[in-house]
Each structure stands twice: as structure tokens, then as C-alpha cells.
């Protein structure tokens, strides 16, 4: 059975169980949306869409002297298929994330960028997930062995973060988190109201 079918089966099972809802989680893919290219003014070529709704990451790398970064404008849809626009200001050598999760990305546009000596480069990818306002993640169902890059626990919840484990086997883990990011594997989180 493919990972996609496993994800769909798990989502259907959870929805039938009457829980608040589910969200898919995928590995961080640093160049999954825009592959490494020179920074520019105007539209970037979109290489692929997020596998599941995710925060987007922007990494600019200085080449031959730091350029004036300007901004990157993302246009797409949110987890509810509603139109979503967000502007991010890159920082040379640092990964910057969107505040909102994008289900689809219809355009990525650079504005205000000024070259110094040589074009800086940029990659845009899919990162982790955050719980919608008023919710937290109450469990994590691993559908393909995974490694957690980062985890933000709900304040006051005492538990060793899953990111301390070298790998998560295919099973269900009780958690109480508001944000998760994977470096590998796939999973589904269940939502509960705060």
C-alpha cells in the first residue's frame, strides 16, 4: 500500500471516529516549492505544491556580498481553500517561515530586491505545521517511520519532545503540541479544542 493511500485511510478512520479533525504532516523539503535560483524581481517558477498544508520556508544565500533582500509575496490557498496572501522578508543565511500554512501556492513574487555584486540565491520549501487557532495536536499517527525536527508543546505540558528520539516507528503517539516539523517520514495529527 502506498503512503498516500495509508494517509487517506488514516484520515477516514479518524474522521469516522468523531474526533475534531486531522492534518497531514510531511518532511521539510527545503527546495520543494522553488528550487535553488537567483533572487530576482518578479515571479519565480513554482516547481511543486506542498504534499499537505504546510508553512513555507525561505532561505536566501549571499553570493559576492549581501544584496538588499526586499520581500517575497506568496499567493495561494489556506487549509480551508480560502485565498491567502502573505509577505515574507528573507534574511541572508537564515531560514524564514510564513506565519500561515499554505495548501496551494499559485504565485511567488520577489519585490524590492537590489543586487550588490552578484545575485544572491534563494530556495523556497515546505516546512512544518501549526495548529489552527483554538486547537492543539492531541496525537500523532506515524504512517511512515519519521524523525521530528522540532516540536512546540502546549504551555504546562510536561513531556520529552519527540524530537529527542532518533526515529518514530509506525504507531500512535499521545502529544499536546501546537507545532511540529519532520525531517523525514509522514504522519497525521489529530486536533483537539483548547
Q: What is the pLDDT of residue 66?
A: 75
Could you tell me if 72 and 154 lie in one domain? no
Both 57 and 18 in a single domain?
Answer: no
Alpha helices in the chain (DSSP H): 3-16
Tell me: the pLDDT tens digits for 36-73?
A: 998 899 999 999 998 888 899 999 888 877 778 899 99
Find the mean pLDDT for residues 82-109: 93
* Whether residue 140 is found in the same domain as residue 50: no
Are 33 and 21 part of one and the same domain? no
Three-state secondary structure call for residue 7 = helix
Indicate the DSSP class of residue 64: S
The pLDDT-based confidence of 86 (bands split at 50, 70, 90) is: very high
Q: Is 94's pLDDT higher than 80?
A: yes
User: How many angstroms separate the CA atoms of 51 and 20, rounded?
Assistant: 21
Residues 142 and 65 in one domain: no
- Which of these three, 127, 145, 175, is where a domain ends? 127
pLDDT reported for residue 13: 54
What is the strand order of the sheet 121-126 is part of?
29-38, 121-126, 56-61, 95-97
pLDDT in tens, 106-135: 999 999 998 887 888 899 998 888 888 888
SS3 137: strand
d(CA 132, CA 121): 32
Mean pLDDT on 77-105 = 92
Better pLDDT: 180 or 106: 106
- What is the distance between the alpha carbons of residues 131 and 193, in angstroms, rounded to a whole number? 10
Pair 14, 40 in one domain:
no
* Chosen domain end from 83, 105, 127: 127
160 and 75 in one domain?
A: no
Query: Does 185 score more than 50 pLDDT?
Result: yes
* Strand boundaries in the chain, DSSP class E: 22-25, 29-38, 42-43, 56-61, 71-77, 83-88, 95-97, 104-111, 121-126, 129-130, 135-153, 172-193
pTM (two decimals): 0.75
Rg of the chain over all Cα atoms, to the nearest angstrom: 18
Of 127, 147, 172, the last residue of a domain is 127
Q: Are residues 7 and 48 in the same domain?
A: no
d(CA 176, CA 156): 10
Q: What is the mean pLDDT of the chain?
A: 85
- pLDDT computed for residue 19 by the predictor: 47
Question: Distance (Å, rounded) from C-alpha 47 to C-alpha 172?
Answer: 33
Residues 116 and 148 in one domain: no
Task: Find, among 169, 134, 149, the residue nearest to 25 by Cα.
Answer: 149
Q: Provide the pLDDT confidence category of residue 162 given band limits of 50, 70 and 90.
A: confident
Number of domains in the chain: 2
Show Cβ contacts of residue 186 under 8 Å, excluding neighbours closer than 6 positions. 3, 6, 7, 24, 25, 26, 27, 142, 143, 144, 146
Which residues constitute the domain of residue 160?
Answer: 3-26+130-193
Looking at the structure, tell me whether residues 135 and 181 fall in a common domain: yes
Amino acid at each position: 500500500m502506498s503512503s498516500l493511500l495509508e494517509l487517506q485511510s488514516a484520515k477516514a478512520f479518524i474522521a469516522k471516529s468523531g474526533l475534531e479533525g486531522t492534518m497531514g504532516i510531511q518532511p521539510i523539503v527545503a527546495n520543494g516549492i522553488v528550487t535553488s535560483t537567483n533572487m530576482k524581481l518578479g515571479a519565480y517558477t513554482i516547481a511543486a505544491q506542498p504534499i499537505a498544508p504546510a508553512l513555507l520556508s525561505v532561505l536566501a544565500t549571499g553570493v559576492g556580498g549581501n544584496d538588499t533582500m526586499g520581500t517575497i509575496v506568496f499567493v495561494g490557498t489556506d487549509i480551508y481553500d480560502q485565498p491567502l496572501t502573505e509577505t515574507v522578508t528573507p534574511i541572508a543565511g537564515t531560514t524564514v517561515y510564513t506565519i500561515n500554512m499554505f495548501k496551494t501556492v499559485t504565485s511567488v513574487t520577489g519585490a524590492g530586491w537590489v543586487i550588490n555584486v552578484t545575485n544572491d540565491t534563494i530556495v523556497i520549501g515546505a516546512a512544518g505545521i501549526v495548529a489552527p487557532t483554538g486547537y492543539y495536536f492531541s496525537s500523532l499517527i506515524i504512517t511512515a517511520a519519521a524523525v521530528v525536527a522540532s516540536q512546540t508543546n502546549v504551555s504546562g505540558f510536561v513531556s520529552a519532545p519527540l524530537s529527542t528520539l532518533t526515529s518514530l516507528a509506525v504507531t500512535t503517539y499521545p502529544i499536546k503540541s501546537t507545532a511540529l516539523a519532520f525531517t523525514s517520514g509522514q504522519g497525521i495529527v489529530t486536533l483537539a479544542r483548547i
